Amino acid sequence: MGAKKSKCSEDSSGEVNFDHFQVLRAIGGGSFGKVCIVKKKDTKEMYAMKYMSKTNIIAKKAGNDVLRELKILTTLDHPFLVRLWFSFQDEEDLFLVMDLLLGGDLRFHLGQQKRFSLESVRLYMAEMVLALHYLKDRNIMHRDVKPSNMLLDDGGHCHLTDFSVAFVVQSKRLPKSIAGTRPYMAPEMVGQDEHSKGYCYAVDWWSLGVCLFELLRGKRPFCLLSTMDDTEMAATITTSPIKFPTEFDLDAKDLVLKLLESDPTLRREHVKDIHSHSFFKSLDWNQVEQLKVQPSFVPCRNEVHCDPYLEFEELLVESKPLHKKKQRLKKMPSRSSSVTKLEPAPNPDCRVFRRSASHQPKVMYLFMLIHGC
């Protein structure tokens, strides 16, 4: 992963902004924008920059969701979670500058017909177990655990990313909304009714069980049709037997069945003992957390492990390409008048940080568009 420990220069106001970065290429996409590789001009450090269109945020009334993701990211510092280093905005977009992991996500490698070895999957799952326990200790549900949100660094270690639908549990107030990606959703999330009391951290462990099966089998454990409504989907994943091939590892099979327990209460009980599960018996958990276990699969460093169409789309299809932002903003009649819809967030918690070398947040002021979203 690599810690960014170099001291960064700033403008005269002490802020980091878009002008401090050189955009290199697009490597990912999302609901409100895309992810690009960028280089900080003064330090030459490489990062992943996620940028989100303010227009889309307003149209989808997602201002509070974006703010929640931002606030969560400022609290995280774990070896298997993608970390935030800078955040800022301009007239068009909000920017999050994070760890750059060039090994590609596990969905990409599955799409390239990559068959992961049992040892590789064992290490990925152990690293995700540690990440999810860290999040639970901070009352955070990720709610979108899936292979495309598991990124490999250049050493082959796995990191969980994308907190756009994460939820912070406060005063035992449990979420009831459906969030995440349907094939990875737990039955208690999709099968709720007006009498439901909500769901808890067990939804992330269900998703991890789906990922474990998929990484070893090459396909997901349940056949879910796009035409299914929530009730049909909940019934399918709670009643359909999971078909394991004869060569499926017995310890992995047992762990899959425990994680895909339809009763979330029983699933939580299984998770309490997950560190001692026989599937992980060959691993030293302290060595795993210190990144001292050598992955058996290390992505080639001479390749970019992402869909090449993303770069084509950014250059030729995108109506407001990031690499032309400076020229576009210069042509605006008045940069001050173009941000009249933005107001300073009244809550002092609505702030953004630059992560220092000691990994402690340095709070910086940011205008957040919340009202009217």
pLDDT in tens, the chain (373 residues): 433 433 344 554 558 899 999 988 888 766 566 888 999 999 999 999 998 888 888 888 888 888 899 999 999 999 999 999 999 998 888 999 999 998 999 999 998 877 899 999 999 999 999 999 999 999 999 999 999 999 999 999 999 999 999 999 988 789 999 999 999 999 999 987 767 889 999 999 999 999 999 999 999 999 988 888 888 999 999 999 999 999 999 999 999 999 999 999 999 999 999 999 999 999 999 999 999 999 999 998 877 777 655 544 444 445 566 666 666 666 666 544 333 233 333 333 334 456 654 444 433 334 444 333 3
Q: What is the pLDDT of residue 79?
A: 97
Query: Coil, strand, or helix at residue 152?
Result: strand
Q: What is the pLDDT of residue 12?
A: 44
Pairing of strands 93-98, 84-89: antiparallel
Enter the tokens of residue 261.
């327990």
233: nearest Cα among 243, 242, 223, 241: 223
Q: Tell me how far apart the alpha carbons of residues 83 and 26 are, in angstroms, rounded to a whole number.
A: 19
Residues 6+ apart with CB under 8 A from 109: 116, 152, 299, 305
Total residues belonging to the chain:
373
Residues 6+ apart with CB under 8 A from 147: 105, 106, 107, 110, 211, 214, 215
Residues 6+ apart with CB under 8 A from 344: 365, 367
The conformational region for residue 267 under phi > 0 = left, psi -120 to 50 = alpha, else beta, is alpha
Q: What is the pLDDT of residue 318?
A: 55
Enter the tokens of residue 338.
């173009």
Q: pTM score, two decimals?
A: 0.84
Contact 27, 178 (CB under 8 A): no
Q: What is the pLDDT of residue 86?
A: 94
The conformational region for residue 355 under phi > 0 = left, psi -120 to 50 = alpha, else beta, is beta
**H or E element at residue 253:** helix 250-259
Task: Enumerate the domain spans of the chain.
Answer: 18-101+304-364, 106-289
Q: What is the CATH number of domain 106-289?
A: 1.10.510.10
Cα angle 144, 145, 146; round to 5: 105
Q: What is the pLDDT of residue 192?
A: 79
Q: Tell me how far apart the alpha carbons of residues 22 and 113 are, in angstroms, rounded to a whole number.
A: 33
18-101+304-364 has CATH 3.30.70.890 classification: no
98: nearest Cα among 72, 127, 124, 120: 72
Contact 256, 221 (CB under 8 A): yes
Residue from 93, 99, 105, 144 carrying the catalytic annotation: 144
Residue 315 sits at φ, ψ, to 5 deg, of -80, -35
Contact 139, 168 (CB under 8 A): yes
Residue 249 bears catalytic tag: no
